[in-house]
Amino acid sequence: MLVIRRVLGSILGCACLAGGALSAFAEGSSVEDAILAVEPQVIAWRRDFHEHPELGNRETRTAAIVAAELERLGLEVRTGVAHTGVLGVLRGGRPGPTVALRADMDALPVTEQTGLPFASTVRTRYRGQDVGVMHACGHDAHTAILLGAARVLSGMRARVPGRVLFVFQPAEEGAPAGERGGARLMLEEGAFDEPRPDAAFALHVVPQHEAGEIALLAGGAMAGSNRLEITVRGRQTHAAYPWAGVDPVAVASRIVLALHAIPGRQMDARLPTVVSIGAIHGGVRHNIIPDEVTLLGTIRHLDPSQREDLFARIRRTATKIGESSGAEVSVEIPEGYPITYNEPALTARARTVLERVVGEGKLVTPPPRTGAEDFSFFANQVPGVYFWLGIRSPEVAAADAAANHSPLFSVDESALLLGVRAMTQLVMGGAAQE
């Protein structure tokens, strides 16, 4: 068992379920009463997690708070899944399906610039560099929202249909170099074995939508993602005599331009694909043409039928350009994230529930996103639905809102309660039931 009782302090002190606090969740209370009652604690959790962020596979403090809260709620708790993951099982008092609700817990190597009173000042070593650590993608909000839903549902468990599997996942942003983690490792370590969910739901906070809005899309909602590494091997020579060697810098430059043209000129534009090169490494001096250049990039696709064709075009383009110049080119495309696919029938039932949750005109249908999510591994195992929770203040224009992963990223905390309401009602409203 993790050291789940050492780091609780005031964050759990105000959350005691003894006495008056428990009455808010009495069996006679409505679901909405219970949701409203938990809001102050959800905000407190979110601020605490924000002030104390932890990188992937290092979420020990966060996991300890989560595990302790789930234990106090009387759930069956398993810790240490995929290093720091936490699972909690709530057995409801009515027949029904098993529903998995997932939140990710990890932060990013970003130095915060928000100026919030609870802004992170945490620093750590990341890939050999001293970096700040920040919840710049909103996983602090996700964790607090799911804890809030756990408290609401556990307080009325006699009315809960079936079972609820609360999944608090580490390393959604990727495991540290040389390590494994995230959803794939949680599944390998039995996260969905017992009980096996009939459906899985997850949300992500985004500034593209205002607080009070939810965005939901059936089918391919987020892209499949693969890393791309291309090595161009030439023949080193003096930069004054380029004809005496084979210039891998020039070859790499032509490869970059050609790869960027593939999505727009060779793939069906109605099915978005992206090929982006984010790093070029090669050479040490201005007057030496090096032996080798390495390109690092990402590939995104939203239709499984395009995946292998896109990969083949990338390999062919890079290697043929190299051959035409006398260079040797190798292309590596490691296994990545699958498409985050919202199962249509489950999405339709979830839409009915979420329309009631947000009210008229507040449930929107966005275009697919070319970002990637490792919730896709969970949704490959059981039918899944992934949706977006708006967290932009109505006073901020969409063009001015700091994006996820920005050092200025912020959350309008009025949106947190809607997140709790959505996750709770997906269980109580029967979204997973045929």
Residues tagged active-site: 337, 413
Phi, psi of 73 (to 5 degrees): -80, 0
Which two tokens mark 288? 């030496």
- The Cα–Cα gap between 255 and 314 comes to 9
- The Cα–Cα gap between 147 and 86 comes to 12
Q: Are 326 and 365 spatial neighbours (Cβ–Cβ below 8 Å)?
A: no
* Local structure of residue 14 (DSSP, 8 states): T
Q: Measuring CA to CA, which residue among 397, 260, 258, 367 is closest to residue 320?
A: 258
Q: Are 351 and 285 spatial neighbours (Cβ–Cβ below 8 Å)?
A: no
Q: Are 75 and 89 spatial neighbours (Cβ–Cβ below 8 Å)?
A: yes
Find tokens 């075009």 and name the residue.
Answer: 313
- Strand 123-126 and strand 129-132: the pairing is antiparallel
- 3-state SS record for 362-399: CEECCCCECCCCCHHHHHHHCCEEEEEEEEECCCCCHH
